[in-house]
Structure 1
Amino acid sequence: MAHAENVDLARLRNIGVVAHIDAGKTTTTEHLLYYSGAKHKLGGVDEGTTETDYDPEEQQRGITIYSACVPFHWAGHTINLIDTPGHVDFTAEVERSLRVLDGAIVVFDAQKGVEAQSETVWKQADKYQVPRLVFINKMDVVGADFRCCLESIRTRLTPHPQEHGQAVPVAIPIGSGSSADSRQPFRGVIDLIHQQALFFDPADLGKTIHTAPIPPECAEEVQQWREFLFDTLTRYDDKDLITSTLLEGQDPPPELTRRLLRELCLARRIYPVLCGSGREHIGIQPLLDAVVYYLPSPLDRPPVTGWDPKTHKEIRRKPDVKEPFCGLVFKAAWHPSGNRFFIRVYSGMMKPGMRAYNPGKDIKENIPKLYHVHADPARGLEEIDRGPAGDIVCVIGLKGSVTGDTLCETAHPILLEPITFAEAVVSQSIEPESSADKDKLAFALEVLQLEDPTFKVRTDKETGQTLMSGMGTLHLEVKKHRLERDFRLKVRVGKPRVSYREMLREARTVTARIDRLGDKPAFAELTVAFTNHKSDKPVEVTCAVDTETQPIPPAFLAAAQRALSEALTTGELGYPLMHTQARILEARFDPQLSSEDAFVAAAIRAYQLATQDNVLLLEPIMKVTVTTPQQFLGNILGDLAARRGEIDQQELSPTGDRAEVVARVPLARLFTYANEVRSLSQGRAAVTIEPYSYEPAPPEVLRELLGE
């Protein structure tokens, strides 16, 4: 059993690697693990042998789907590394990882610069106020351009440095591109703080680093970048760590420069930039050093904020083992020997044998043992004797808790902000090929829902079909393959269909009264206000009845609330409502005639009165980003217009040979778009599609759905 009692929180880093798909994020992660000694053989994405892509689906596609948590050590520090997906259909994995990270490495492709998904993850990191490093990868590819990549970060991600911070290089490349296409191929990096060149020995996959004086042809460029670095640093040097030294014409000591850089990185005023090539094994160790130097420990992050579940007063908990325990379940993963739950411990100490309280569900959970987990399940679990504040631990077999739930001490309850996820936008019918597998399929779909909060399963009340819904067609395709591979199920799926939603046209307050249930007398009366609201929850049902002045049995009101919640998930047209709140204002009952069933009937009647001729059909709108050679721009724009697309942005690359178009397009017009955009551009355009919003559908869409 591993001991965790003497964890020095200042030497702990909880970090993630985030990027657009194909920026080389998983390859970078592999090298971090290899050079730290966490693994002894370097895997390759193309060979399907990477540590964090342990799922066969990931190995086959070469993409990361499930975020994996891997602990390793570097320079006397413990680093919990959470690998995250780059594909837009899996942003829920990125979202929940960023919620529990303290710092992040954002990887960019040196040739392509900022891409659609890198913009999305950057904004997610802004949302959770995560300090980050920038790693410009693939400096060895044709067309790699360090300056151009930095410029795209400046214009698209940090246009106003005072508000958004600034990307500032601490290492620059020696050359760019490969020996086949460049007179000065990429062969090493220059450390601007220590003013030395670093070369990485290809004979041992870059493990051995040779330091050398700066090559003469790079001297002028080094001077320019050092001036930019120190000009930026001195602007924020309130404690005069380096400014006086610079004014005296001397070089500041590296440790003081790093100290100031760390302070500014933690404040998100500066994002230190490094560069390299995972494929050529160049520049990864300086990135590891930068994680230790500049990214925060749990102690550097603000206290976590929650509220008391009873009084709703705000509570703040510091990352201190002396505080009461609280943690957040940020991931669940099915396993044959028991489901695994990953928990970020924010305060106090989690211990084996404890009873943890889930205040959101008002239940208690047994915590028999705690573990650290290797990325590859084949390597098993490492049992630990405690999980201190700041750590990420694994627990097996929680009974009622799911992703986004808080666990804490019963005597000191706190409810942390839950993780919110986008609404699913696409659905497919699914059925087993053999009716004997019906129960097995139901179990497997339940497992997949446990693991992925953006994956939903429901039964269509009209057709009796089982429908699975998700963030995109790739998302559902991956789920289908998992059912076939992990659960040995043969399944049939229908055509993808749009997940429409409904919304009230206007607010209504209604009174519904029940006098009979069937042929028997009964009584229940409810006054309910139905309103539109903008909230993270699609629908919200509350009760404002004062049971002290109106002594109604709580079970009757609870039954009415449950019935309203269920009704709002079906809608008048058969689609769930969203942005809708139902508030029970008044209730009347009769001690002899009232029952839970009568209050359920009254709730359903109130819902019917509120929604009758009063709903709008909403359709999912997607954000479509197309990067295309300039000569195909006209084709792309014409095609988007034919799909009811609205162009939001259109800009040329700095070289003028490529264009990027950002548009909002109804999902219903996009199912075959990824293939069609290739034929419009002779296979040379790239597209990403991500959920944007739900907006009122035009009348012809409703007519089409109703078969008119």
Structure 2
Amino acid sequence: MTLITILKGHVNLRRLSRLPPCIFENYTRCMASFTKYAEHKPLEKIRNIGISAHIDSGKTTLTERILYYTGRIEQMHEVRGKDNVGATMDSMELERQRGITIQSAATYTIWKDHNINIIDTPGHVDFTVEVERALRVLDGAILVLCAVGGVQSQTLTVNRQMKRYNVPCLAFINKLDRMGANPYRVLHQMRSKMHHNAAFIQLPIGLEGETKGLIDLITQKAIYFEGEYGEVIRQDEIPKDMRTEADESHQELIEHLSNADEILGELFLNESKPTEKDLTDAIRRTCIKRTFTPVLVGTALKNKGVQPLLDAVIDYLPNPGEVENLANKEKQGEEPIKVVLDSARNDKKSFVGLAFKLEAGRFGQLTYFRCYQGMLKKGDTIFNTRTNKKVRIARLVRLHSNQMEDVHEVYAGDIFALFGVDCASGDTFVTDNKLDLSMESIFVPDPVVSMSIQAKNSKDRDNFAKGIARFTKEDPTFRFFYDPDSKETLVSGMGELHLDIYAQRMEREYACPVILGKPKVAFRETLTEPCEFDYLHKKQSGGAGQFARVSGIMEPLPPHENTKLEFSDETTGTNVPKQFIPGAEKGFRQMCEKGLLTGHKLAGIKFRLIDGAHHIVDSSELAFNLAAQGAVREVFERGNWSILEPIMLVEVTAPEEFQGTVIGQLTKRKGVITGTDGNEGWFTICAEVPLNDMFGYVGELRSSTQGKGEFSMEYSRYSPCTMEVQEELVRRYQESLSSNVQKKKN
């Protein structure tokens, strides 16, 4: 508390001079740091970047090195270090124990007079919503690839997410010091698997244990990293034995850039030699347009290649003013209009910000924001455009992992946090409530695994309720609900690890041990062929009655859209008045919540309302709602139905001697092998396997590969399940229904 008070300038200087020398020195350092980081930079000197990659590619280690070289931290720690401290960005105890990132963490630092806001994201597919949130609010990203693993399943997922939010990126091939490192193979995979127009802007000098430094193809210099932590950078001539390779790679870089950039293309056609500035400008232009991906190399663990990567972030990634940010302007009864937000750093424009992440802090809910327009000061009032609630800002903070630093104002391009704001992830906030602006929300994938959950001890129910309420609010992919059929409380998430982590957090953070039941898969029911309906709902019991008739066709959607539900109003004339159509759609969607075969939701169905009839007095929205429900029940009885199950894209990596065993295991689990790849005694198998058959696979894989095998999986699509699975699901559902009936009788 003393230092915070000092920083705020509330301590008398005469009293300060009496402090012991060690505290006075600490104060001086903190004061200098506070002044340095509190200063607001012009828009051109700001970069908002994320670090994304597949599991265990070295994201958190890279972030730790960035913070060290920029002077943000005084000592480097490893992700699973022997000193039991752990990396700065892995602030959660569970992250340090497991050696994985579970929550995205934000920080900011300064490099060459540029403010860099960094978000370190998890690599595991179970925490994919953390990556979604980060990429939604960032202007650029570093895509980290392992020099041994190359382009892996989660790399492809991250690449899709970057494409969804149009985020420019640099590629950094990490772990050059590992046995079997091959950056040239990784570049080839980037071009073939990810379809990137990519080329090296650096080459490694030596690989594996011989990694010495790197060659900068733009400046045509060799760079060596000396000193205890690689903090001393020495430039030299390119080694003679690499001169030919450097010239060829330099020419390859120019060719790839010329294909993406008109200005450099003209120089190339005129056979003019581009200067350093020509190349740097071309890389920046094409990188921002996402037509070219510069590829850098290094090894974060061995402290090589991090400083040139920071230079590349400043040189090639956009500042907040170079990215077009759009908001929807909504008017009553009209289609929303796209509005371009003004990112200039002035206080004349009204503040527009997006809440992208919620977290329970020590002082209440902590909400992470990105400011897109205008400025926000301490004491201002902001409005939630979704709920119209207003909030007065009592405290503004910027984040450095789990530490908070107070600021007085924030401007366009800043990432900051507020306390005491009751909102949902993806809400838009403004200072002028008349603007009617709302920013596009964050894409949230549907959960694929459900498990029953209950507190081990009944006395912990209050803590259980508090923990569940907090976690479901923080993470939109973690859902909690009660199933009246099975009489169980269920939690849904993105995978077994996802739910297991939350179970452990319940015990650690809320002293509430929980019991997780057998995982349940989110099956879906769908029609296999079109089925006509013509349903009349008529009820007369004195006074105003109910009358509604609906006729049309329910039909299956194409396989690539089999997770959607569509309602199509194809009525003509006045047989079904337009004011009753929403009632019919609501009735259809209500019935889709629970199928007849197994009690799972309906999906992949289109409800085409073609005709109907109404009564001038007895028809109402409710009557058409009930008529649509009756029509779906009619199709339940007459139509042909099948069960859909989630299919996962599984990638297994293990030593070559176990390849036959692994293929056998996947085949036994109804897997379809889609590709294999081999490298330096290891193989990678890609397969599509039903999620229902993947439970318990991690133990089987480890025991059969002497603990050396790894696998990752991500949701791919829904597909019809086999007849045996369908019959088993129907049988179990019928048994549960009959047991419930028996219980009611007793």
Alignment of 1:670 with 2:702, yes or no, is no
Which residue of 2 is the match for residue 575 of structure 1?
Answer: 600
Q: Are 2:214 and 2:297, in contact at CA under 8 Å, matched by a contact in 1? A: yes
Cα deviation digits, residues 90-143 of structure 1 (max 9, x gap): 122112222222111111111222222212212322232221111111111222
2:193 to 156, 169, 193: 156
Cα distance in 1 between the residues matched to 2:158 and 2:91 = 23
Rate the CA distance shift 1:285–1:5 in 2: closer, same or farther, 3 A. closer
Q: Are 1:189 and 1:198, in contact at CA under 8 Å, matched by a contact in 2? A: yes
1:327 to 327, 346, 353: 353
Which residue of 1 is the match for residue 250 of structure 2?
Answer: 226
Question: What is the CA distance between 1:636 and its match in structure 2?
Answer: 2.6
1:124 to 161, 185, 189: 161
Which residue of 1 is the match for residue 451 of structure 2?
Answer: 428
2:428 alignment partner AA: T
Question: What is the CA distance between 1:404 and its match in structure 2?
Answer: 2.7
- What is the DSSP-based 3-state SS (H/G/I as helix, E as strand, rest coil) of the residue aligned with 2:255? helix
Q: Are 2:526 and 2:604, in contact at CA under 8 Å, matched by a contact in 1? A: yes
Which residue of 1 is the match for residue 509 of structure 2?
Answer: 486
Rate the CA distance shift 1:7–1:304 in 2: closer, same or farther, 3 A. farther
Which residue of 1 is the match for residue 740 of structure 2?
Answer: none
Cα distance in 2 between the residues matched to 1:586 and 1:348 = 52
Which residue of 1 is the match for residue 204 of structure 2?
Answer: 173
Q: Which runs of 5+ in 1 are unaligned?
A: 159-163, 179-184
Question: What is the CA distance between 1:513 and its match in structure 2?
Answer: 2.5
Question: What is the CA distance between 1:82 and its match in structure 2?
Answer: 1.0
Cα deviation digits, residues 56-110 of structure 1 (max 9, x gap): 2211111111111212111121111111111121122112222222111111111
Which residue of 2 is the match for residue 298 of structure 1?
Answer: 320
Alignment of 1:268 with 2:290, yes or no, is yes
Question: What is the CA distance between 1:6 and its match in structure 2?
Answer: 5.7
Question: What is the CA distance between 1:323 and its match in structure 2?
Answer: 5.4
Alignment of 1:608 with 2:663, yes or no, is no
2:469 to 435, 440, 446: 446
Q: Are 1:14 and 1:79, in contact at CA under 8 Å, matched by a contact in 2? A: yes
Which residue of 2 is the match for residue 635 of structure 1?
Answer: 661
Which residue of 2 is the match for residue 476 of structure 1?
Answer: 499
Cα distance in 2 between the residues matched to 1:510 and 1:111 = 61
Rate the CA distance shift 1:577–1:382 in 2: closer, same or farther, 3 A. farther
Which residue of 2 is the match for residue 143 of structure 1?
Answer: 180
Which residue of 2 is the match for residue 396 of structure 1?
Answer: 419
Alignment of 1:462 with 2:496, yes or no, is no
Rate the CA distance shift 1:248–1:565 in 2: closer, same or farther, 3 A. closer
Cα distance in 2 between the residues matched to 1:443 and 1:545 = 49
Question: What is the CA distance between 1:154 and its match in structure 2?
Answer: 2.6
Cα distance in 1 between the residues matched to 2:315 and 2:687 = 40
Cα deviation digits, residues 511-550 of structure 1 (max 9, x gap): 4526279x9986364748766567798557799999x999
2:602 alignment partner AA: L
Question: What is the CA distance between 1:606 and its match in structure 2?
Answer: 5.0
Cα distance in 2 between the residues matched to 1:225 and 1:344 = 39
Question: What is the CA distance between 1:242 and its match in structure 2?
Answer: 9.2
2:214 to 168, 183, 189: 189
Rate the CA distance shift 1:190–1:23 in 2: closer, same or farther, 3 A. same
Name the stretch that deviates more: 64-73 or 569-578.
569-578
Q: Are 1:545 and 1:587, in contact at CA under 8 Å, matched by a contact in 2? A: no
Alignment of 1:41 with 2:75, yes or no, is yes
Q: Are 2:191 and 2:197, in contact at CA under 8 Å, matched by a contact in 1? A: no
Name the stretch that deviates more: 605-614 or 680-689.
605-614
Q: Are 1:137 and 1:276, in contact at CA under 8 Å, matched by a contact in 2? A: yes
1:261 alignment partner AA: I
Question: What is the CA distance between 1:241 and its match in structure 2?
Answer: 9.4
Which residue of 2 is the match for residue 74 of structure 1?
Answer: 111
Cα distance in 2 between the residues matched to 1:522 and 1:5 = 70
2:175 alignment partner AA: K
Q: Are 2:375 and 2:409, in contact at CA under 8 Å, matched by a contact in 1? A: no
Which residue of 2 is the match for residue 109 of structure 1?
Answer: 146
2:444 alignment partner AA: F
Q: Are 2:449 and 2:493, in contact at CA under 8 Å, matched by a contact in 1? A: yes
Cα distance in 2 between the residues matched to 1:526 and 1:28 = 64
Cα distance in 2 between the residues matched to 1:390 and 1:86 = 25
Identity %: 34
Cα distance in 2 between the residues matched to 1:207 and 1:624 = 40
Which residue of 1 is the match for residue 670 of structure 2?
Answer: 644
Q: Are 2:355 and 2:367, in contact at CA under 8 Å, matched by a contact in 1? A: yes
1:659 alignment partner AA: F
Q: Are 1:500 and 1:575, in contact at CA under 8 Å, matched by a contact in 2? A: yes
Question: What is the CA distance between 1:580 and its match in structure 2?
Answer: 4.7
TM-score (norm 2): 0.82
Q: Are 2:44 and 2:321, in contact at CA under 8 Å, matched by a contact in 1? A: yes
Q: Which runs of 5+ in 2 are unaligned?
A: 1-7, 9-34, 733-746
Please tell me the root mean square deviation across aligned C-alpha atoms, in Å.
3.6
Rate the CA distance shift 1:524–1:313 in 2: closer, same or farther, 3 A. same
Cα distance in 2 between the residues matched to 1:190 and 1:580 = 56
Cα distance in 1 between the residues matched to 2:623 and 2:266 = 75
- What is the DSSP-based 3-state SS (H/G/I as helix, E as strand, rest coil) of the residue aligned with 2:364? coil
Question: What is the CA distance between 1:562 and its match in structure 2?
Answer: 6.4
Cα deviation digits, residues 489-517 of structure 1 (max 9, x gap): 12111122222122344465554526279
Q: Are 2:451 and 2:491, in contact at CA under 8 Å, matched by a contact in 1? A: yes
Greater gyration radius = 2
- What is the DSSP-based 3-state SS (H/G/I as helix, E as strand, rest coil) of the residue aligned with 1:29? helix
2:54 to 14, 17, 20: 20
2:295 alignment partner AA: V
Question: What is the CA distance between 1:608 and its match in structure 2?
Answer: 3.2
User: After superposition, where does 1:303-318 map in structure 2 within 5 Å?
Assistant: 303-304=325-326, 306=328, 308=330, 310=332, 311-318=334-341
Which residue of 1 is the match for residue 433 of structure 2?
Answer: 410
Which residue of 2 is the match for residue 281 of structure 1?
Answer: 303
Q: Are 1:13 and 1:295, in contact at CA under 8 Å, matched by a contact in 2? A: yes
Which residue of 1 is the match for residue 685 of structure 2?
Answer: 661
Count residues in correspondence.
Answer: 683
Cα distance in 2 between the residues matched to 1:11 and 1:586 = 63
Which residue of 2 is the match for residue 499 of structure 1?
Answer: 522
Which residue of 2 is the match for residue 347 of structure 1?
Answer: 373
- What is the DSSP-based 3-state SS (H/G/I as helix, E as strand, rest coil) of the residue aligned with 2:417? strand
Q: Are 1:4 and 1:385, in contact at CA under 8 Å, matched by a contact in 2? A: no
Cα distance in 1 between the residues matched to 2:259 and 2:620 = 70
Question: What is the CA distance between 1:145 and its match in structure 2?
Answer: 2.2
Rate the CA distance shift 1:77–1:636 in 2: closer, same or farther, 3 A. same
Name the stretch that deviates more: 224-233 or 320-329.
320-329
Q: Are 1:504 and 1:611, in contact at CA under 8 Å, matched by a contact in 2? A: no
